[in-house]
Amino acid sequence: MQPGFRKRLLQWYQRHARSLPWRSKPEPYRVWVSEIMLQQTRVEAVREPFQRFMKRFPTVRKLAAADVEQVLEAWSGLGYYRRARMLHRAAQQIVELHKGRFPETREHALNLPGIGPYTAGAILSIAFDQPEPIVDGNVERVFSRLNAFGQDMKSVSGRNAVWQFATSHVQDGHAEGHSSSALNQALMELGATICTPSSPDCEACPVAMDCAARREGRVDQFPRVQPRAARRERTYHFLAVRDRRSRILLVRRPEADTSSLLPAGMWELPQADSAATAGIRIRATGTPATRKHAIMDYRLTLRVQPGVADGPIRPTSNRRWFTPEEAERAAIASATRKLLHALGRA
Ligand code: SF4
């Protein structure tokens, strides 16, 4: 990098940082919740759920005291529900072990459920302004282009090199008197808004003069990554059973039940192959609807057959009727939500 790299980056960040709800008050609890929500999820998809969640659980103590069911409801639509369960467990630990305050050391932060090196670095640098590095997909991409870095970014040596870069970026910057919070966020913001994966806007880039890939006219060759294996396929068949009042039947698999790739412990439509053994019989009333859904490394085909109950269905704690409004508010996975919306339109 040329002298003044960090100054150019920070000046640009001050002028162009997006206004995001968690940036307005970067308290540890807000930064932590936003970082967990942002994992595998786009910024735009997090804005509204973040504000809803903060209204419902404004403090770590309120979150720790809530039932897990309420937390999952508030998480509804964000997917990857394991994150919500871990967030809840971590909140309880923070109350029990740290008097309700997010720990200020990397070691203690890493002991909390759901906090890995990335999230620890994000919270410690953004909320506490500590010179801790952050590496996410944006940092990887910017780094790889700035240095015309030839290694596979997913290889061990590639990962180590990015962490080293991120560490010296924030530590040298700290020694120069810059804010660690701004340094980390500026690098990520550059990746999110200018140095984007498929169409980087090099003309508008504040650090174009530092960029080896641009100098060499090879921006499109970075970052280097091995092609991913094709996604595996799986098909699930569901029943959309309605009663005479047009309520829909939802069931809940126990958390330990891993028979499906959909998250356990959430309300979902009954699966066709286990419905009969659970005493659920239907009379089909329409043509099946089909939706595609991606989850982890799988491409799912979800088929749902609408029908009415053929015989009585007794509600239990893990099986009951939902009105459309109740289903909308319930702790359901995004795949189930997709199917319910498909049925609504059918
Ligand atoms: S010059 Fe282009 S490729 Fe290089 S860091 Fe800036 S936006 Fe990315």
Model confidence over 78-116: pLDDT tens digits? Answer: 888 889 999 999 999 999 999 999 999 999 999 999 999
For the Cβ of 342 lying below 6 angstroms from any atom of ligand 1, the answer is: no
For the Cβ of 194 lying below 6 angstroms from any atom of ligand 1, the answer is: yes
Q: CA–CA distance from 17 to each of 130, 145, 192 (Å)?
A: 20, 21, 11
Highest average pLDDT, of 153-162, 191-200, 219-228, 247-256, comes from: 191-200
Using the atom order of ligand 1, give the atom closest to the CA of residue 191. Answer: 8
Q: CA–CA distance from 196 to each of 192, 219, 254 (Å)?
A: 6, 11, 41
Q: What is the CATH number of domain 232-345?
A: 3.90.79.10
Residue 79's region, left for phi above 0, alpha for psi from -120 to 50, else beta, is left
Please report, for the chain, the start and end positions of each structural domain, with discontinuous segments joined by +.
5-221, 232-345
Asked whether 224 and 144 are in contact (CB, 8 A), the reply is yes
Positions marked active-site: 35
The position carrying tokens 């530590």 is 171
- Cβ within 8 Å of residue 194, ≥6 positions away: 200, 201, 204, 205, 206
pTM over 0.85: no
| Closest of 274, 277, 205 to residue 239, by C-alpha | 274
Average pLDDT score over residue span 294-298: 87
Using the atom order of ligand 1, give the atom closest to the CA of residue 194. Answer: 7
pLDDT of residue 345 exceeding 80, the answer is no
Q: CA–CA distance from 198 to each of 44, 195, 201 (Å)?
A: 19, 9, 10
Q: Return the exposure string of 293-322: e unless at least 16 CB atoms fall within 10 Å of the residue's CB, then b.
A: bebeeeebebebbbbebeeebeeeeebbbb
Top-tier CATH class for 5-221: mainly alpha
**One fold for both 5-221 and 232-345?**
no
For the Cβ of 141 lying below 6 angstroms from any atom of ligand 1, the answer is: no
- Cβ within 8 Å of residue 114, ≥6 positions away: 36, 83, 86, 87, 89, 90
Q: How far is the CA of 137 from the centre of ligand 1 (A)?
A: 15
Q: How far is the CA of 316 from the centre of ligand 1 (A)?
A: 57
pLDDT > 90 fraction of the chain, expressed in percent and rounded: 67
For the Cβ of 1 lying below 6 angstroms from any atom of ligand 1, the answer is: no
Query: In this structure, which residue's CA is closest to atom 8 in ligand 1?
Result: 195
